[in-house]
């Protein structure tokens, strides 16, 4: 039978049957009384989940609300009607996981894969219809298993990387470099932006270098850089050349990592040290007021 999405409508309460196996065998009288009063005042907020059985409907989720609605004297109640009990079960399970106890992306991927294999015959469109989710979300989760690296998925399961970081690392096609990125991501707690930057660096410099091709460079109208072998890369001075030491480094590695780090080091004087004590904070405030008198409260 082809699965269909649910439809929402009000159903006469006389057509609704209790679930064959209620999740609650006993209901607290005081809490039930509160629920009845609430339903009388504002109605049933959360829809019952039901499926047809002949000309009637069996409640799969919302049994307590059904009992309270009967006690409140309602004629009809709002329901989400699913085509079968099996489809209703999936909807209940997903709603409970999604809204009450959030599934991790890894757990969601494993559950989607299980449903895809056991209940949807490998048909992703049928899985999307069953869960009422957009195909993009479903495919991204399944890709973590089917197209992603097992080591990356394991790190995701353990909570060592976030899902966006895992998806980005998986786009690196070099297995060795992918493991290197994953190791850094776990220890440095990468953000997605940091992972994207690392992936771009691999595409621009490391992938061409490993393939034996010239690394890609961005077009520029600036003159070609010249090497000054008797200029300190840290202080920028040329004196005491006899005390300088040669350093072996790829040109593309220097452009990608060393030069940005040295440029940042050279601008360290422009950075303000965040105060760690009250005295340091007062000194910083005094410096700022001297530089910008407009900040003075007087």
- pLDDT for res 11: 93
Q: Give all strands of the β-sheet with 76-81 in edge-to-edge order.
A: 7-12, 76-81, 48-53, 56-61, 16-17
Q: Looking at the chain, how many residues does it have?
A: 298
Contact of 87 with 25, CB cutoff 8 Å? no
Torsion of CA 7, 12, 13, 15, to 10 degrees: -80
Give φ, ψ of 59 to 5 degrees. Answer: -80, 125
Instruction: Supply 190's token pair.
Output: 């990468």
Q: Please, which residues bridge with residue 9 across strands?
A: 79
- pTM (two decimals): 0.45
Instruction: Supply 12's token pair.
Output: 């006469």
The pLDDT tens digits of the residues spanning 238-268 come to: 666 566 666 666 766 777 777 777 777 777 7
The pLDDT tens digits of the residues spanning 124-147 come to: 998 888 777 889 989 999 999 999
* Residue 128 CB-density burial (10 A; 0-12 exposed, 13-18 middle, 19+ buried): buried
Q: Is the dihedral of CA 285, 290, 292, 293 positive or negative?
A: positive
Contact of 203 with 218, CB cutoff 8 Å? no
- pLDDT for res 99: 45
Query: Closest Cα partner for 78 from 42, 50, 36, 48?
Result: 48
Instruction: Supply 94's token pair.
Output: 């997903």
- pLDDT for res 107: 86
Q: List CB contacts of 129: < 8 A, sequence separation 6 or more.
A: 3, 4, 5
* Residue 192 CB-density burial (10 A; 0-12 exposed, 13-18 middle, 19+ buried): middle
Q: pLDDT tens per residue, the chain (298 residues)?
A: 333 467 888 999 999 998 876 555 456 788 888 889 888 887 887 888 888 999 999 988 888 889 999 999 999 999 988 888 777 776 665 655 544 445 688 888 888 898 888 888 899 998 888 777 889 989 999 999 999 999 999 999 999 999 999 999 999 999 999 999 999 999 999 999 999 999 998 888 877 777 765 555 555 565 554 545 556 767 777 666 566 666 666 766 777 777 777 777 777 766 767 788 888 888 888 888 888 888 787 6
Instruction: Supply 185's token pair.
Output: 């991501």
Give the up-direction half-sphere exposure of residue 14: CA atoms within 13 A in the CB hemisphere: 1
Q: Which domains does the chain have, with CATH numbers?
A: 7-85 (3.90.1530.30)
- pLDDT for res 265: 75
Query: Closest Cα partner for 175 from 146, 151, 145?
Result: 151
């Amino acid at each position: 039978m082809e699965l269909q999405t649910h439809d929402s409508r009000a159903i006469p309460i006389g057509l609704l049957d209790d679930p064959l196996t209620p999740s609650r065998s006993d209901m607290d009288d005081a809490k039930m009384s509160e629920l009845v009063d609430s339903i009388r005042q504002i109605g049933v907020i959360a829809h019952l989940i039901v499926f047809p059985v002949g000309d009637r409907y069996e409640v799969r989720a919302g049994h307590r609300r059904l009992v309270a609605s009967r006690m409140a004297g309602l004629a009809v109640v709002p329901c989400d009607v699913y085509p079968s009990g099996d489809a209703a079960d999936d909807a209940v399970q997903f709603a409970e996981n999604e809204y009450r106890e959030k599934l991790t992306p890894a757990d969601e991927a494993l559950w989607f894969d299980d449903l895809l294999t056991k209940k949807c015959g490998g048909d992703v469109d049928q899985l999307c219809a069953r869960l009422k989710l957009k195909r993009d979300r479903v495919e991204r989760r399944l890709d973590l298993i089917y197209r992603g690296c097992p080591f990356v998925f394991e790190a995701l399961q353990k909570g060592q990387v976030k899902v966006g970081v895992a998806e980005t690392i998986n786009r690196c096609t070099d297995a060795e470099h992918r493991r290197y990125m994953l190791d850094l991501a776990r220890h440095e707690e990468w953000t997605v932006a940091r992972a994207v930057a690392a992936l771009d660096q691999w595409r621009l410099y490391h992938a061409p270098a490993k393939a034996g091709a010239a690394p890609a460079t961005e077009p520029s109208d600036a003159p070609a850089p010249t090497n000054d072998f008797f200029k300190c890369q840290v202080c920028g001075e040329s004196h005491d050349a006899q005390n300088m030491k040669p350093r072996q480094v790829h040109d593309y590695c220097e452009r990608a990592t060393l030069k940005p780090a040295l440029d940042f080091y050279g601008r360290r004087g422009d950075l303000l040290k965040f105060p760690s004590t009250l005295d340091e904070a007062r000194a910083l405030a005094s410096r700022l007021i001297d530089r910008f008198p407009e900040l003075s409260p007087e």
